[in-house]
Structure 1
Amino acid sequence: MPLNSMKAVERPKMSDAAYYRLRDAIVRGELAPGEKLKDSDVAELLGLSRTPVREAMARLIDSGLVEAKPGVYTKVAPLNQRDVAANLAVLKALDAVAVEASVPRLTERDMKSLRQTNRSFATHVNKHDVDKALAADDAFHQIIIDAAGNPVIARIIEQLHPQLHRVLYRKFGSLFGGAETIEHHEALIQKFEEGDSAGAAALSSTHWSHLGSLIGELFESKELSQEG
């Protein structure tokens, strides 16, 4: 192959870096709901030009983490029950499809990774390390999503997950931090080992429904504020 036909090595996109920095700050509550986001200020803070920051803002708006009224404001979106419920409904449906599709495609290496990742999740839960526990849970489900082989589902889930993480960071212990999720992972692995696609999908849907009920109760009891 002629040297001049080779593609250049791509550098990490600065807009991606800006997006992940802002996304994580919103998810963790470092940027509060309603906080104004001026692209020039953000660009200066991150040491970037305004163009990648604007691109990052557009992605954050698409994901529901930021809201904007052209010429008036760009600000961190509120965290409210209606939006979270809508988000959960889509995640529940997509996760069930991904789980069912993944079962015949999971390899023994995947199964080993699932077990190891769930052990890691349990370790971080016991240490009350929210960041690492959520990262381990994401890694567990990413194995399933990758095995499903549907890039559309993967893209949409990646876009919607940060909204759920906003809630989990605030109420990790009561929603996601106990033995129940560890046991759910183990039950899923068991269904995978049995080759039970429908059973695994049903188990996933039940877990999402339970999580949705718990989150709804937190909003109703005002333990999660109806911001905005």
Structure 2
Amino acid sequence: MPIPPNTPAVDRTLLRDDVYRRLRDAIVDGTFRPGEQLKDGDLAAWLGVSRTPVREALLRLAASGLVVALPGRSTTVSAIDIQVVRDARDVVAAMHELAVREVTGRLSEQDVDRMRDANRRFAGAVASGDVKAALEADEELHRIPVAALGNQALEAVIERFDPLIRRAERMRFGVDGRASVNRHEQLINLIEAGDAKGAASVAFDIWHSLSIDDTEADT
């Protein structure tokens, strides 16, 4: 068959990243439960793609600890391991502390306003019990200082380990959500005031305060 000229190639990077995000989010939001087997053929059919980007996404998810891959055998959603979550929490907390310390005094008024708007939506979602919307608003709020810093190494670390925390955090949102609204407001006020040390300390505490009870493991 003749090949049409001047046809732009499919951006495989975007496809690969989109498949990864879809599978990651399905694990984080509980669509795929711990211990559930993930078959690349079924996932490819579900997403309407070939098996190749699905297999690549599963490898990335394995590197993040969200799935356990046994070559030639099976891939399953990982159990929630308390110590793994705590280790990820400590690393991510340090990354957000660094980002906030470096960008305080440099964030635009528009960025600060966006953080306040995200926290308002976060508070509304917590009040209504909308966990998905709350997590999305929370992620948006914390992404603003990280994006402003522009440190790709720091962003890569957060991208790798944040989903482990989000999955565990989702289980405790009714407990921790309202307190987080106040912590967010304190963080934003300190950033707006140019208090880099204080803002960085609060940013660390927001992430490091996440705790997972032993009874919540492997669920």
TM-score w.r.t. length of structure 1: 0.86
Residue of structure 1 equivalent to 2:203: 204
For 2:192, give the aligned amino acid.
E
Paired amino acid for 1:104: G
Question: Equivalent residue for 1:124?
Answer: 125
Residue 18 (str. 1) matches residue 29 (str. 2): no
The two structures, once aligned, show a CA RMSD in angstroms of: 2.0
Identity %: 40
Q: Retained in 2: the 8 A contact 1:105–1:148?
A: no
| Number of matched pairs | 213
- Give deviations 1:132-180, integer Å, cap 9, x for gaps: 11111111111111122212111221221111111122221113x21x1
SS at match of 1:34: coil
- Quote the residue 1:157 is aligned against: 158
Contact 1:88–1:164, Cα closer than 8 Å, also in 2: yes
Residues 188/36 of structure 1: CA separation in 2 closer, same or farther (3 Å cut): same
Report the counterpart of residue 217 of structure 2 in structure 1: 225
8 Å contact kept, 1:19–1:53 = yes
**Partners of 2:141 and 2:204 in 1: CA distance:** 16
TM-score, normalised via structure 2 length: 0.89
| Alignment of structure 1 residues 27-176 onto 2, 5 Å | 27-175=28-176
Distance 1:7 1:87, change over 3 A: farther
Q: CA 1:10–1:197 in structure 2 vs 1: closer, same or farther (change >3 Å)? A: farther
Structure 1 window deviating more from structure 2 (36-45 vs 127-136): it is: 36-45
* Offset, 1:87: 0.6
Question: Over residues 161-220 of structure 1, what are the superposed CA-to-partner deviations in whole Å (9 max), with x where a residue is unaligned?
Answer: 111111122221113x21x11111111111112211111111222233322xx32xx22x
| Gap runs ≥5 in structure 2 | 1-5
CA pair 46-206 structure 1, distance change in 2 beyond 3 A: closer
Q: Measure how far apart 1:63 and its partner are.
A: 1.4
Runs of 4+ in 1 over 6 A off after TM superposition: none
